[in-house]
Amino acid sequence: MGWFGRKKPEGSAPTLVVLAQQALAERGMETTVEVLPGEHARLVGTDGRVFLLENLASQVHGEPPAVQADLVADHFDRMIQAYSEPAPEELDADELRTRIRTRILSEHSGTPSDPADLSYARPFAPGLVLGLCVDYPTMVSTLSASSLPRLALGIDELFAIGQLNTDDEPVDGHAEIAPGVFVVEGESLFVASKAVNLPALFGAAPFGTVFAIPHRHLLLAAPIRDADSIQAVQTLAGMLLQVLTSTDRALPGGQLSPLLFFSRNGQVSAVSGFDEDTGAMRIEIDERFQTALEQAAEG
């Protein structure tokens, strides 16, 4: 993904809606443009099929016109191929064990642009929940609560195996880019969701870990180890702001969370906020976080 590497090339591009309509028409699907109040434009096929464009917009942002056209064509090729995939309810137990993933999602999912019913999802952190997805070769399908009773596995097994599969998802980069500060990034939609099991990435952290997941392809982390860890957390906060405020690229899939979190012994809390007047980020050291820093300094 290269969030802290070179910038994407700049260039003007045709309207995404036009590119999308052209690509679908070339594949035998005529569409009309529909804009709901408060929502982004979307395309509606003559068969009633709806094509959302938000995620596609983040993919093509900042790319030159030729690259945008290729990305749009590839997107709809994969989407059309996905129509032939079996529904989650049609998968047998072994297929479901292979394809199930846990995924951190905004607790505000369930909008017209993300219609999955996540009432079954488990709390993860302020503003975030842990849901379940089926990973197909060409798409990822978020499970809705209504589908769970018809699946070949129970919900506890789905979460347990799904987390193991998410832990095993490949990453493209895993590096310490400043003293005590790590970046994990990749094309997988489940990179940020690895935050559910931080020891699988960084080993045991008896004093806990501060982390950020601004979007689904990126995880920033600072394990609390010694007296220098507060400096690592400050560096981490600066990197998070760099990602959130960058004008060179959109956040893939949209923003997941703008906050810093502290994870220790399975409990996750927010340890940052934003000044109401200036919008500046501030680190908020609660009792749990303060105890961890003191113990690490003594340790």
Instruction: Work out whether the CA dihedral 122, 125, 128, 131 comes out positive or negative.
Output: negative
Between 27 and 262, where is the model more confident?
262
Element (H, E) at 100: strand 100-106
CA 66/CA 88 separation, integer angstroms: 36
CA 25/CA 267 separation, integer angstroms: 49
In the 8-state DSSP scheme, what is residue 40?
-
CB 112 within 8 Å of CB 36: yes
Local confidence band at 73 (pLDDT 50, 70, 90 cut-offs):
confident
CA 156/CA 160 separation, integer angstroms: 6
What pLDDT does 107 receive?
A: 87
Q: pLDDT tens for residues 3-28?
A: 444 344 444 446 888 888 888 888 88
CA 118/CA 147 separation, integer angstroms: 11
CB 195 within 8 Å of CB 183: no
| The two structure tokens encoding residue 128 | 């975030």
Between 81 and 174, where is the model more confident?
174
Local confidence band at 261 (pLDDT 50, 70, 90 cut-offs):
very high
Burial of 278 (0-12, 13-18, 19+ CB in 10 A): exposed
What pLDDT does 271 receive?
A: 95
| The two structure tokens encoding residue 160 | 């347990």
What is each CA distance from 257 to 35, 128, 195, 219, 272, in whole angstroms?
Answer: 26, 8, 12, 11, 11
101-110, 172-181, 220-229: least confidently modelled range: 101-110
CB 89 within 8 Å of CB 146: no
| The two structure tokens encoding residue 190 | 């489940």
Q: pLDDT tens for residues 75-86?
A: 888 777 767 788
Local confidence band at 109 (pLDDT 50, 70, 90 cut-offs):
low
Dihedral in degrees, nearest 10, Cα atoms 47, 40, 69, 14: 120
**φ, ψ (nearest 5 deg) of residue 213:** -135, 75
Indicate whether 182 pLDDT > 50. yes
What pLDDT does 56 receive?
A: 82
**φ, ψ (nearest 5 deg) of residue 264:** -155, 130
